[in-house]
Amino acid sequence: MTLTNIRQYVLLGLLSGYLLLNYSFMQFRIPPQGFGIPLGEMFLLFVLMTIDVPLILRKIGTVAYLLPFLVWWGFGFGRMLIDSMDRGFWAFRDATPLIESLFIIVGFALAGNAAFFERLRRWLPLLLLVASIYALGYPIEKQIIEISPTIQGASADQAVPIFGAYDTTAPLLLWTAVYLLCFGDPKSNGRVLRILGAGAAIAFAIVVVQARTIYVQIVGLSFIFLLFRRRALMNLSATIPLLVLAVAVIAAFDISVSGRLTDKISFSFFADHLTAIFGETSASDAAANAAAEGVGLRFGWWQHLYELLTSDAVNELTGLGYGIPLTDFYADSGTLVREPHNSYISVVSRLGVIGFCAWAWMNFEILKVWFGAYREAKRLRWRYGQNLLLQILSFGVLVLITALGEDALEKPYNAIPFYVFWGIALRIGYLLQVRRKTVEKTRSAQAAAQFPRLPAPRPAFARQATQLGPSR
């Protein structure tokens, strides 16, 4: 087995661990005791040392404008090193989103051959199947944690259960629905089964997981389908009656469903839960009110950071830096909350306007390449490429929406897959660009070969032309 194959298999294994086990998989490190280096960062270092990074960057630069990437990494890592001199280890810890963004290079480098896409084609449905089965344990999360083996966390007295962490359950269920709605022959007999499966995944996420972000994520996925896959949008709309029917049956028969917030499922709960996104409370539903209480707290954090940044021009441009907490709030466990539960605000707070503009511009360049790759795949009628690109975009939108109200990109189990998939999208764009140029060059050569050659001038004509001299 070649080194390339080994790196590809390890990458898919790491993605599986982060997406399925999320927080607990973050604790796997070398050495396993104390402040070891996490497996993701170890693999990142290994890949960067075994590939030609300047060559990879030049290839990325042929499809995307490279300046924002270089500013984001150059300015960010420079700030991290300077801050680490005064603030020590915490500067590296807070720079996790910056470090994980290097996985763009990893994703681009390892998606360089057809074998990788074949492995990805087999891996993705298997991952989503396992994730869906694992999600069924959400209602008995506490029982799973009690019997789960543990791994030592960063502190000596912290025992982290390996199984029972469901932070990525809702996004993975929605991602499963995207796969079922996009992949497969739209005219095959399995269409009804795929719609039922997608409806079941969405209903489980809404009824059991009960996270407000899910409603916004469904809107985001609907917008993607509206722009790029109208048939998938029609299939998605067909899942709504399934959800309504499920809630009606649960409410009519007073079935107890062990959800995250409440086991009393009703249409009024979901209406109050939806308005809780904006911090509105209900006089009749305490469970929805519990979800709304955090909105005001987050707004308080964001306003305080805005005041800190705008009070000083240097801070506004370059940020507050790494190594300091961005809130003064302590969780029930006594742990200081270091991020303000909004990844966009975290970026601008840490690196100021310069860092945020570079990060936003970098993501815009990736989206531009994605759009060009999708258009080219559609022109070539490369169905798998279109579906894979839609799956990548859907995951990116799920994470970016989560980042509006959570510290999504500050957590490796979100950030590493996010940037790996963006790197794969860039590679697809690069491969399609190379193919297009090769085809155009071949056609030009063929056209030149078919063009009739002019006869060589006779010597007398050549002498006359020489005597005439240059034309005026």
pLDDT at 159: 85
pTM (predicted TM-score): 0.91
Cα–Cα distance for residue pair 101/288, rounded to 1 Å: 35
Q: Which of 77, 82, 54, 76 is nearest to 66 (CA)?
A: 54
Report how far apart, in Å, the C-alpha atoms of 227 and of each of 173, 392, 449 are: 22, 15, 43
pLDDT at 416: 97
- Taking the CB of residue 463, how many other CB atoms lie within 10 A of it? 11
pLDDT at 36: 81
| pLDDT tens-digit series, residues 116-144 | 999 999 999 999 999 999 999 999 999 99
Bridge partners of 60, per DSSP, are none
Report how far apart, in Å, the C-alpha atoms of 243 and of each of 95, 202, 372 are: 41, 8, 35
pLDDT at 161: 92
In 251-287, which positions are buried (b, 16+ CB within 10 angstroms) versus exposed (e)? eeeeeebebbbbebbbeebbebbebbbeeebbeebeb
Cα–Cα distance for residue pair 260/210, rounded to 1 Å: 6
Q: Which of 435, 356, 369, 375 is nearest to 396 (CA)?
A: 369
| Domain range list for the chain | 1-163+340-440
pLDDT at 1: 73
pLDDT at 460: 43
Low-confidence ranges of the chain (pLDDT < 70): 154-157, 184-189, 279-293, 333, 448, 451-472
